[in-house]
Structure 1
Amino acid sequence: MAPLGPFTALAAVGCSGGADSLALTRLADRWARARGGAILALIVEHGLRPESVAEAKATAVALTARGIAARILPLALPAGPRLQERARAARRAALLGACQEAGTPHLFLAHHAEDQAETILFRALRGSGARGLAGMAPVTMAPEALILRPLLGQPKARLAACLEGWGVLPVEDPSNRNPRFARARLRDAGAGALEAGAFAHRRARHAAEEAARLAAAMRLLPEGCAELDPVALGQDRVARRLMAALIRAIGGRAHAPPEAAVAALLARGAGTLGGARWLKGGRWLVREAATGGWDAATGLWDGRFRAAPPPAGHRWGALGADAARFRSRFRHLPSAALAALPALRREGDGMLALVPHLAYHASGSEVSEPLHFAPLAGPVTECHPPG
């Protein structure tokens, strides 16, 4: 836990009740207490097995008895296709939402060396590009909390040893060994034997390359667009990775476009892809068309801007054709970027009440709703902990 020194000793831990997450919970608890802090164990109960409710309660009781605050997060996922994928997305959303509600700025997750190796192999089999094959990041930024994975370099067996003498019995989810799921098949095939250190080194190298290129060739603006120098950007693998991340952020999408499509866009020097539009001349990358609404689950409008729920009698929407009213005062932005900005309108007549990025507030209106650019998929580049 030493590399976590700079972080505040106030954190949540994703605790499934399994051996890995219990080991992290014990380690994090000791780490936080030594710094005068405390942790909150978040136990996600998926509702997929009859036993899971009792298991979650037993884990919460055991942790509470050891002075660790615990909270159960029920999901009640419906059966159906892509179950594990849906479960991962719902689990992440529930954990981050609980962090935001509890005011804990950091979330610890117990992914270890074998998990990292399985992730790399799984992505390789699905044809992931260089970014995906770099594995999970030790630090990931989300609007609700900073996600920390301090155990990526540790083998599973070492984590199990951390539980000796603690008196908390881990729960084994049988779906982890169910051959119906691809990750379970990879686990049985010995995917965890891969060396995870090389992946961590590769990810750190990629992040450094992208950060350097970003500084030289791109400027991401709070208005949800980017100013580019196409010559400095280039068309190599670093350019493809960085452009894919920018397109994902500006387009408000959860996933980046395929590498081949990004390479083709770079070769053309302009065009549309993944909800983003690269304007002729190569200087601006803007939102193609802001059509998404406000999502209560994520708190995002158009997958890009964190906004409060629209007040009664109002709705969030794109500035659209009304951008022409502001063109003379905001010539530093292209018209397409202005048109994609979020605007608060009155229901019924559609009159503008507020355009936060342009400091516009309708005369007589009492509405004031701050927002900021916080793309659905997180930051363009990643950060890494010291050590």
Structure 2
Amino acid sequence: MDPLGPFEPKPRLAVAVSGGADSVALTLLAAAWARERGGSVHGLVVDHGIRPEAASEASVTVARLGARAIGATSLRLALAPALSRGEREGSTACPLSRLRERDEMRVSAERARAARYAAIESACIGLGIVHLLLGHHAGDQAETVLMRRLSRSGPAGLAGMAALRETMYLRLLRPLLPVPPARLRATLRAAGMDWVDDPSNTDLRALRPRLRTKLADCNSEAPGLLAEAAEYGNRRARAEGEVARFLARQVTITPEGFAVLPPGPVPEGALSALIQAIGGRPFPPPREQTARLGACPCPATLAGTRLLSAGRIGPGFLLMREEREVGDPVPASPGAVWDNRFRLPASASPPPGAELGPLAADSVRFRRLSNLPSAILRVLPAIRCGSALFAVPHLGYPDAASCARVPVLFSPPRPAACARFFPVPGQPSAACGGWGCERTGGSLC
């Protein structure tokens, strides 16, 4: 745990708990670690509402943690239920049906993951906790690397999951990445702690369980995958450090949501990070296209962004949001996010019925009042009441008092520069006793 710091003197941690062995073991170990330091742990048990028995399993898990003096909350999600066995058998009558079902399962899993993290993030904010622990272990890391290898991921993807990642509100920590799953189950047995087995983890219609079976059959492959992740992780950390230095010295990212780039070539990694941030994208743009554009910058569009000559602003280029890609207006309520980039803080007090969206055609009113190009003005966030402009905060319109009520903040999901990728050791340590070891863990160091 200590390498994943810093932590406050009496650390308060949250753990995402599925009820399975991995997350339950992490919760017990984290609770012991926190108590030694005068802190506490709170378990966030997610009930996806997909399986009929999920609600009772969540209640049982909360009770089990409570019996160990660990506070826990059950978070109920409203997702579509899983197919019954009869429905599954009927849907797999032909190969095309099976492919369609696998696609639906993948989309369903992605929706469930997004809903789960949104609920957990909201709960952490309510509890005032910034450290969220996730139960991914060495087996999960090996599966992730194998999945990304099969999908022809680049070096960044082959680094696997980071041990530490920072988001807008949370620090996501994965302290178990070097630990084999067998050791976690042995730890629970030694502690006399039960867990829940989710049948979806062994459903071979999904890719990850199939890869898990493959790795179990070829036990020697997993340590090699972890070593590969460690090597690529170290490379990624060094590359991200170089990107951060370039951005700090050469690039200006503005509160209006555009970036000023220097004249001349831009490293592919730096341009990729900027495109993600300015475009509000969770994933990087295509590497080959980004590398070509960075090597010879010129007016172009890529991944929801637009690159233009800086013109009267100065030498170099401007990277901005592409207008045709901006999101539709959203209700301007406190905490609202528009275009996956601009956020109204919880302290905002917009007028009733207001909407947050692009300035668009109303930008013509500000062309003589602002030095910004029209392409940037049109994608600035604006607050409207019906068809009437209430405020354009980044232009100070109509006055300071109105803008203070709706201080729209540029908050992309992936900042151009943040905490660097935090790699983990490539193989289980000697203390683990090897990949298949069933020695108990006892503590998080």
Q: TM-score, normalised by structure 2?
A: 0.77
Q: Deviation string for 1:6-64 (max 9, x for gaps)? A: 12312211011111111211122122222322221111112222222221111100111
Q: Is the 8 A contact 1:245 1:380 kept in 2?
A: yes
Among 129, 133, 139, the alignment partner of 1:104 is 129
Whole-angstrom CA distance in 1 between matches of 2:158 and 2:401: 54
Q: How much has 1:180 moved relative to structure 2?
A: 0.6
Q: Deviation string for 1:303-346 (max 9, x for gaps)? A: 10112585313211212244344445543x44322322111112
Q: Is the 8 A contact 2:138 2:179 kept in 1?
A: yes
1:311 aligns with 2:351: yes
Whole-angstrom CA distance in 2 between matches of 1:298 and 1:379: 22
Q: Secondary structure at the match of 1:249?
A: helix
Q: Which moved more, 1:316-325 or 1:15-24?
A: 316-325
Among 346, 361, 386, the alignment partner of 2:385 is 346
Q: Deviation string for 1:111-143 (max 9, x for gaps)? A: 122212211221222232232222222222222
- Alignment map for 1:58-73 (pairs within 5 Å): 58-73=60-75
Q: Deviation string for 1:221-275 (max 9, x for gaps)? A: 2221111124252xxxxx2233223212211233332223323433452211121
Specify the alignment match of 1:256 in structure 2: 284
Specify the alignment match of 2:304 in structure 1: 275
Among 327, 336, 341, the alignment partner of 2:375 is 336
Q: How much has 1:291 moved relative to structure 2?
A: 3.8
Q: 1:60 to 1:117 in 2, by over 3 A?
A: same
- Alignment map for 1:284-299 (pairs within 5 Å): 284-289=318-323, 290-294=326-330, 299=336
Structure 1 gap ranges (5+): 234-238
Specify the alignment match of 1:247 in structure 2: 275
Q: Deviation string for 1:344-383 (max 9, x for gaps)? A: 1121xx2222222233345995981223111134554443
Amino acid at match of 1:249: A
1:153 aligns with 2:181: no
Identity of aligned residues (%): 46
- What CA RMSD, in Å, does the superposition of the two structures yield over aligned residues? 2.8
Q: Secondary structure at the match of 2:363?
A: helix
Q: 1:364 to 1:216 in 2, by over 3 A?
A: closer
Q: Secondary structure at the match of 1:107?
A: strand
Among 41, 44, 50, the alignment partner of 1:42 is 44
Specify the alignment match of 1:14 in structure 2: 16
Q: Which has the higher contact order (CA 8 A, sep 6+)?
A: 2
Amino acid at match of 1:244: S
Q: 1:326 to 1:30 in 2, by over 3 A?
A: farther
Q: Which moved more, 1:171-180 or 1:306-315?
A: 306-315
Whole-angstrom CA distance in 1 between matches of 2:19 and 2:260: 46
Q: Is the 8 A contact 1:217 1:232 kept in 2?
A: no
Specify the alignment match of 1:236 in structure 2: none
Amino acid at match of 2:308: L
Among 197, 204, 217, the alignment partner of 1:172 is 197
Q: Is the 8 A contact 1:319 1:343 kept in 2?
A: yes
Q: Is the 8 A contact 2:233 2:423 kept in 1?
A: no
Q: 1:213 to 1:248 in 2, by over 3 A?
A: same
Whole-angstrom CA distance in 1 between matches of 2:252 and 2:120: 31
Q: Secondary structure at the match of 1:316?
A: strand
Whole-angstrom CA distance in 2 between matches of 1:312 and 1:300: 17
Among 152, 170, 185, the alignment partner of 2:210 is 185
- Alignment map for 1:222-237 (pairs within 5 Å): 222-231=255-264, 233=266
Among 356, 363, 366, the alignment partner of 1:323 is 363
Q: Deviation string for 1:166-189 (max 9, x for gaps)? A: 332121212112111111111111
Amino acid at match of 1:262: T
Whole-angstrom CA distance in 2 between matches of 1:181 and 1:251: 31
Q: 1:366 to 1:4 in 2, by over 3 A?
A: closer
Amino acid at match of 1:169: D
> Which of the two has higher C-alpha Rg?
2
Aligned residues: 379
Q: Which moved more, 1:36-45 or 1:260-269?
A: 260-269
1:202 aligns with 2:235: yes
1:122 aligns with 2:147: yes
Whole-angstrom CA distance in 1 between matches of 2:231 and 2:384: 51
Q: How much has 1:5 moved relative to structure 2?
A: 4.1
Q: Is the 8 A contact 1:253 1:377 kept in 2?
A: yes
1:217 aligns with 2:256: no
Amino acid at match of 2:166: M
Q: Is the 8 A contact 2:247 2:417 kept in 1?
A: no
Whole-angstrom CA distance in 1 between matches of 2:78 and 2:402: 42
Q: 1:40 to 1:299 in 2, by over 3 A?
A: farther
Q: Secondary structure at the match of 1:184?
A: helix
Amino acid at match of 1:307: L
Q: TM-score, normalised by structure 1?
A: 0.88
Whole-angstrom CA distance in 1 between matches of 2:203 and 2:145: 20
Amino acid at match of 2:394: H
Q: Is the 8 A contact 1:19 1:163 kept in 2?
A: yes
